[in-house]
């Protein structure tokens, strides 16, 4: 009798332990919106956007506010892993389409219905999280550490740079990494975003992109010449050392380059370049 009692207690304790483990694994303390955990609601929003574009109605951000939204974004960024079911389903779907796709339309439609919402990779979800951070503005300051790590790991992708700019002065811990990026990048479109971010974090620091923008003024690609001149014009008088090179572009055979150069000189020198746009 005693052995049966001990066995029964052991079963009860094991069941209780498993129940508690399952309860804690569902993160019962994370706030919920619409019956879902905040991070889960954002994940569903990401899935919907990837599959069918922005969902109609209020977004999760509109519903829960920026502070809570950023906490949920960071949780999703660091903890998301594709489910086993999703991985199995993806492998099965790939197997089916490689061998049988198109032979049985009815089965094809059923498989498509299974994949109404695809299961994104960790990298896809992390990229989507970073693209959503700017919508929270300065409230995304808790993400600075994560974004700085991305600057090193992903060669400073433009979405990371944009997110730091949206945070503003609170992203100042990222300045050393951004200075390094500014010293090695020469793409004028990228540098335009980088200059905007630098100016938002530390006004005046956008001059760091000037050395990287100068080679573009002599590029064989007219679009790069025009964009480089435009970028230096945005920086204004602080880019005055580039004025002689920009002035040479007033004779460029492409009208868009001449117009960009004239506008840049107007910004840098106060109207001295307008006569060159013809």
Looking at per-residue pLDDT, the higher value among 100 and 208 belongs to: 208
Check if the beta carbon of residue 41 is closer than 8 Å to that of residue 34. Answer: yes
- What domains sit in the chain, N to C, each tagged with a CATH number? 185-278 (1.25.40)
User: Can you tell me whether residue 260 is helix, strand or coil?
Assistant: helix
- Distance between CA atoms of 4 and 16, rounded to whole angstroms? 18
Query: What was the pLDDT predicted at 8?
Result: 54
CB atoms within 10 A of CB 18: 10
**Stated pTM of the model:** 0.78
Query: What was the pLDDT predicted at 276?
Result: 37
pLDDT at 105 over 80: no
Angle in degrees, 0-180, between the axes of helices 158-167 and 188-201, rounded to the nearest 10: 20
Alpha helices in the chain (DSSP H): 2-25, 38-52, 60-64, 66-79, 84-99, 105-114, 122-132, 144-153, 158-167, 175-184, 188-201, 210-213, 222-235, 243-248, 255-269
Bridge-based pairing of strands 36-37 and 32-33 is antiparallel
Sign of CA dihedral 161, 163, 167, 173: negative
Q: Burial of 168 by CB count in 10 Å (0-12 exposed, 13-18 middle, 19+ buried)? A: middle
- Distance between CA atoms of 206 and 176, rounded to whole angstroms? 13
pLDDT in tens, 67-100: 999 999 999 999 998 866 555 666 666 666 667 6
pLDDT in tens, 20-64: 333 344 456 788 988 889 999 999 898 888 665 666 667 899 999
Share of the chain above pLDDT 70, in %: 71
- Distance between CA atoms of 207 and 82, rounded to whole angstroms? 42
């Amino acid at each position: 009798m005693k052995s049966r009692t001990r066995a029964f207690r052991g079963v009860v304790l094991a069941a209780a332990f498993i129940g508690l483990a399952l309860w804690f694994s569902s993160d019962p303390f994370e706030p919920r919106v619409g019956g879902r955990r905040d991070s889960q609601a954002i994940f569903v929003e990401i899935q919907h956007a990837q599959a069918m574009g922005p969902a109609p109605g209020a977004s999760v951000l509109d519903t829960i506010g920026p502070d809570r939204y950023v906490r949920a974004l960071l949780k999703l960024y660091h903890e998301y892993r594709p489910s086993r079911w999703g991985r199995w389903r993806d492998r099965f779907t790939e197997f089916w389409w490689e061998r049988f796709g198109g032979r049985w339309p009815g089965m094809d439609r059923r498989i498509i219905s299974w994949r109404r919402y695809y299961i994104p990779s960790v990298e896809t979800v992390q990229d989507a999280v970073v693209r959503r951070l700017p919508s929270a503005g300065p409230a995304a300051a808790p993400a600075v550490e994560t974004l700085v790590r991305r600057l090193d790991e992903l060669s400073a992708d433009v979405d990371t740079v944009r997110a730091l700019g949206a945070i503003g002065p609170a992203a100042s811990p990222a300045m050393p990494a951004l200075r390094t990026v500014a010293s090695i990048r020469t793409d004028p479109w990228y540098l335009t975003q980088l200059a905007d971010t630098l100016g938002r974090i530390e006004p005046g620091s956008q001059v760091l992109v000037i050395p990287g923008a100068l080679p573009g003024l002599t590029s064989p690609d007219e679009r790069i010449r025009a964009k480089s001149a435009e970028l230096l014009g945005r920086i204004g008088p602080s880019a005055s050392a580039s004025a002689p090179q920009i002035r040479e572009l007033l004779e460029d055979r492409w009208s868009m380059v001449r117009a960009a150069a004239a506008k840049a000189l107007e910004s840098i020198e106060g109207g001295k370049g307008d006569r060159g746009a013809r």
